[in-house]
Amino acid sequence: MRDYIWAGSTTRKRSKVSWAQVCKPKVERGLSMRRASECNKAAMMRLIWEILVNKQSLWVIWCKSEILKGQSFWQIEHKQMLSVTWKCLLKLRPLVSTNLVYTIGHNSSWSIWYDPWFQGSPLFEWVGNRAIYDSGLPPNAPLSEILQDTNWNWPSHVWQLRC
């Protein structure tokens, strides 16, 4: 695309204007063109958002049944057999997790252990497998399971979860 924009074809010699200059806003003497990589990243992050909010679309339903198979998006491991799209989605997890804001309440379906709701990282990274086992809560337990009115109701016998 760059070749065509600056030379009128892909065979002629190109202009000496950098692509970074072209992508600058018009007020900064650019053409306000968007970088394809940034547009792709935004589209991929939108797909992640649709998975996280459980949007009722055919693609999300398929992903949850065929790829996630009952696991959280944050829990799935990077595997060789995944498509290029899914590998890209998994690479974007750190960027997405730092920009999420979680609303926690009685109907919270966020995973206690694997969603990055606790200080930007999954609780699993703080307490480990043993705390999950000792708690008696299932690995896919939602946050709403440990909320009682407006208070946390953690299992009292798990020392890692005490405040």
For 115-150, b where at least 16 C-beta lie within 10 A, e where not — what string?
bbbbeeebbbeebeeebbebbebebebbbeebbeee
- 80 falls in which pLDDT band (50, 70, 90)? confident
Looking at residue 110, its pLDDT comes to: 79
Beta carbons of 161 and 155 less than 8 angstroms apart: yes
Q: Where do the domains of the chain lie? A: 1-33, 36-98, 103-163
Query: Cα dist. 46→15, 19, 70, 155 in Å?
Result: 35, 26, 21, 36
Looking at residue 3, its pLDDT comes to: 61
Q: What are phi and psi of 24, to 5 degrees?
A: -70, 155
Name every residue whose Cβ is closer than 8 Å to that of residue 135 and which is 6 or more positions away in sequence.
154, 155, 158, 161
| d(C-alpha 52, C-alpha 109), whole Å | 10
pLDDT in tens, 4-47: 555 655 566 666 677 788 888 889 988 888 888 889 999 999 99
Residue 62 reports pLDDT greater than 90: yes
Looking at residue 7, its pLDDT comes to: 61
What are the tokens at 99?
């920009």
Give the residue with greater pLDDT, 106 vs 74. 74
* Whole-number percent of the chain with pLDDT over 90: 23
Residue 74 reports pLDDT greater than 60: yes
> What's the mean per-residue pLDDT of the chain?
82
This prediction's pTM: 0.67
What are the tokens at 94?
């750190």
Tell which residue, 59, 56, 118, 114, has the closest CA to residue 83.
59
Residue 148 reports pLDDT greater than 60: yes
